[in-house]
A and B are shown apart, each in its own frame.
Chain A
């Protein structure tokens, strides 16, 4: 199997779905790039190149450059979805959610419920998350917990290229609105990815690594940081962690998390987002509620601090949970005695 980056995997998944189904269209800012200019007509292919080449194959009627107007993009995509297209709309940075949330929160997410199940909204919103590029407070957030909290939305947070392709194809074929979160520092990360199309069902976590001492749940880039921490813990401390990547935050695979905690009795949740009302808080609450009797130690959450994402590289490094902080939390939980 060929090694492919997350960028390639997403591009391939999009192209294959567009070939399979003429109702699939891509719409957003600079998804081709260069509209109306004198230079190359597909100069960007998305701001980080994920949709590069689609314009050449599918043309401007299916790879649609828009003005910088997020409300209109999301509203148009929701309206198109509910009337028969299967749009993959791009919200360039998830931070821009603030501009267009009404179209997502009060329109797309509500159609099926308010029309008594008669309306389908097969909409995918691809959006970038994550800190680590000194892109400052308005271009670095990880807001999947906000999408996750909205009934009527599904939310996908892949951590590798294999999952990214399978989950994206699943998202495009899903009849409900799906928010697809891509970490901007992970596009070049390579894993083995099949050439043919395939799907990964929503709500099925990936057990990245088996272990009996401590359960570690992590999302997106934190899966890799947790992996580093777990390697160090295994060799230096002899602690064996089970690493779970939920892959989708809505639906959330509660069973896999609960079954693991029932066995280990210890849980650390790692989340690049801010701590309040976060996925870390949500998963900690889940375990406190449904696996309390099995817990041998308090649940530990490793998150960003409750601050905006700082611009200064030195501060941003402190902001993002590090493998060291994750390892420290695991040691604390592992060594806890009543």
Chain B
């Protein structure tokens, strides 16, 4: 038996049970998730497996609601929503920012401005061409950062998280970035200039910038970065392999998780 007052502890406990039964960390999480019901967002870290992080989510935790939960229950959690330049124009986004200010919620609105909403340019679709400025109009601290610069993004996020955790209410961060791919996998991207993607890959790859910065500062050398990159690539390959090898859902899954059946 296991007694706890917080549901999130159960999520860790069931994984421990599966580990004790001799499963690998990934197998344990996989098995544990089958036993969980309801909405959750979980990240598992394992002692002795410093390079492994298993994330799972069920049900969309909408930022304002999640922040309200955190505030009401006195949790240290901060709600972070990620929206594009396209989504920044939605009325719902405006309402959410306003409510977060009114209720002084620990919420962070991150706007990844990658210059396109589907095939329409930010330049055209965002009237003020200033997402952070518009967010500021709702009364929340808002900054615009260079998305190519890991350290600038990290610093802005740190400040916003700290503000949220110390009762300072919501923040907005507009991340000026770009995209190397289309809106969806079949997007021919005819709306882009001919060499646009090539020059972006050349000049605006945040990983390239990161490599240069940490190299110049003497924090990590090229060999170390190469090792991390190949480790990450292997992790991704492994995850894809595991997912591909997993069986398709059984037919009963069609009717599962619906409150009423007819």
Contact = CB atoms under 8 A, between A and B. Distances in A.
A321 interface: no
Given A41-B191, A65-B124, 19 more contacts: A29-B117, A29-B118, A33-B191, A35-B120, A37-B116, A37-B120, A37-B191, A44-B119, A44-B191, A67-B86, A68-B86, A68-B90, A71-B91, A72-B91, A306-B260, A307-B254, A307-B255, A310-B253, A319-B254
Given A34-B119, A35-B125, A36-B122, A69 B89 contact: yes
B193 A67 contact: no
Contacts of A72: 91
For chain A, give the interface size range. 35 or more
Contacts, number: 113
Interface of A: 29-30, 33-41, 43-44, 47, 65-69, 71-72, 99, 275-276, 305-308, 310, 312-315, 318-319
Given A33-B191, A39-B192, A306 B258 contact: yes
Interface string B73-92: 00000000000001101111
Nearest to B124: A36
Contacts of A305: 254-255, 261-262
A228 B123 CA distance: 49
Contact of B91 (A29, A66, A69, A308): A69
Interface in B100-117: 116-117
B72 to A, nearest CB: 26
Contact of A276 (B87, B188, B262): B262
A68 B89 contact: yes
B190 A43 contact: yes
Contacts of B121: 34-37
Contact of B191 (A39, A67, A276, A318): A39
B166 interface: no
Nearest to A75: B91
Interface residues of B, number: 35
5 contacts: A35-B121, A37-B123, A38-B196, A40-B190, A306-B261
B125 A315 contact: no
Interface in B247-262: 248-249, 251, 253-255, 258, 260-262
A68 B196 contact: no
A275 B260 CA distance: 12
Contacts of B255: 305, 307
Interface string B115-154: 0111111111110000000000000000000000000000
B51 interface: no
Nearest to B119: A33
A37 B191 CA distance: 6
Contacts of A67: 86, 89, 117, 120, 125-126
Given A67-B126, A305-B254, A306-B258, A47 B91 contact: no
Nearest to B257: A307
A47 B117 CA distance: 12
B24 interface: no
B78 to A, nearest CB: 26
Contacts of B125: 35-36, 66-68
Nearest to B90: A69
Contact of A30 (B119, B122, B189, B254): B119
B199 to A, nearest CB: 11
